[in-house]
Amino acid sequence: MKIVFASTPSQEEEISGLVRYIYSNVFPLYFTEDEIYEFEQLKVLDTMENQVEVFGTLKDAFKVMACMQTLISILESTDLDDQYSTLFSKNVSHLQEFGLFFPFEYEQFVVAKRMNNHLLSVNTKVANELLI
């Protein structure tokens, strides 16, 4: 007999928060506003449809959170070295095993970073909330 623990609502909220963070802080570093909108339509990293089925256990929810945090850490680094490529692919693969759609290759981000493509987007977190 094996005992498993169900994921908690706070874990599910944390996963949703990580998805929002990727859309608002990470994607705008690499993609245009229109592309980000298209990702939303394609349900990139969408957890709403199959959240309970996919990472219903405590262990699975932690794996999903760890994968997302690793991807965020890699993509927010100042230099996207080749050393991160394998780690990136491994974490994308794990997310896809849990049914989360993340259709990107590491090279896409490397090319965008090299082009120094810092775009202004509605999704970008504001640096200052006060307007004078």
83-104 pLDDT tens trace: 899 999 999 999 999 889 999 9
What 3-state class would DSSP assign to 57?
strand
CA–CA dist 102, 23 (Å, integer) = 12
CA distance 109 to 92: 13
| pLDDT under 70: residue ranges of the chain | 1-7, 49-55, 116-132
What are the structure tokens assigned to 88, written together? Answer: 């990136």
Rounded Cα distance between 65 and 31, Å, is 23
DSSP-assigned letter for residue 6:
B
Report pLDDT for 3.
57
Residue 47 has a pLDDT of: 78
